[in-house]
Amino acid sequence: MKIEKKNFDLDERTIIMGILNVTPDSFSDGGNYNTIENAVKRALEMIEEGVDIIDIGGESTRPGHKSVGLEEELERVIPIIKAIREVSDIPISVDTYKGKVAEEAIKNGASLINDVWGFKKDEYIAEVAGKYNVPCCLMHNREDKNYNDIIEDMIVDLQKSIDIAIKNGVKKENIILDPGIGFAKTYEDNLVVMKNLKKIKEMGYPVLLGTSRKSFIGKALNIEEPKDRVEGTMVTTVMGIMSGCEFVRVHDVKANKRTAMMTEAILKCE
């Protein structure tokens, strides 16, 4: 898969997407990187740790988060994309469901769209992805938790997102799926999804797993503080790779990079 000017061989190794939340209220690192100086510093740290893609988000998606208007999200995201682009050619992903934000981000140096609503909140974002011919990550999400069979229902939901993308000119090879761990799912649902990631892989697209420091890990380990959930995150990274996930989206780049490398070494041995 080509992202920016870099070709990633998804069969060769796991691609590490590093989280850079430029928000005051994200559940784990809100307020840490919402200045240009701090954001660039953190981006360079992640590059040093071996990150492959930096995912920049200007609106928290934690439960109960406050929605952010278009102009405010642009003011948070665009200057930081520009600043990182001045110091590195690392591929940049924009974490947004707003088409206008995605478009401005691409114009200013982003090269991947990561939409937590899978193109269902604002269909213009699908037009943007098709127009600029960039990869996009379509995450599973919905307004309720009323599932008949969670995995089968997720597959139906994700297929609707894929259909929106294709209808708007997105190439199949530019689509990545995200099972949306922690979104419209109970604690038990998240565990079931983790156990059945191969069924999402069977849809025929690369899969990105985003579990980093999430509350289901905190509940399983009885750990309140998100930053203390690194070991639990690493276990999900291992299970994701063993299930065929090509991307992992994480806060703790070094720990998860090493976890991925060790997992791959074992899986590839003869």
154-161 mean pLDDT:
98
Asked whether the predicted pLDDT for residue 160 surpasses 70, the reply is: yes
pLDDT value of position 65: 55
Catalytically active residues are 214, 249
Alpha carbon distance 164, 130 (integer Å): 11
Neighbours of 235 (CB within 10 A): 15
Tokens of 212: 């980093």
What does pTM read for this prediction?
0.94
Encode pLDDT of 66-107 as tens digits.
678 999 999 999 999 999 999 999 999 999 999 999 999 999
Encode pLDDT of 235-264 as tens digits.
999 999 999 999 999 999 999 999 999 999
Asked whether the predicted pLDDT for residue 269 surpasses 60, the reply is: yes
202-228 mean pLDDT:
97
Tokens of 41: 């510093």
Residues 6+ apart with CB under 8 A from 249: 17, 18, 19, 55, 178, 208, 209, 210, 212
Greater model confidence, 197 or 22: 197
pLDDT class of 1 with cuts at 50, 70, 90: very high
Q: Provide the edge-to-edge strand list for the sheet that holds 175-178.
A: 175-178, 136-139, 112-115, 92-95, 53-57, 15-21, 247-250, 208-209
pLDDT class of 4 with cuts at 50, 70, 90: confident
Q: What is the DSSP string of the chain?
A: -EETTEE--TTTSPEEEEEEE-SS--TTTTTTS-SHHHHHHHHHHHHHHT-SEEEEESS--STTPPP--HHHHHHHHHHHHHHHHHH----EEEE-S-HHHHHHHHHTT--EEEETTTT-S-THHHHHHHHHT--EEEE---S----SSHHHHHHHHHHHHHHHHHHTT--GGGEEEE--TTSS--HHHHHHHHHTHHHHHTTSS-BEE--TT-HHHHHHHT---GGG-HHHHHHHHHHHHHTT--EEEES-HHHHHHHHHHHHHHHH--
Residue 43 contacts residue 20 (beta carbons within 8 Å): yes
Asked whether the predicted pLDDT for residue 34 surpasses 80, the reply is: no
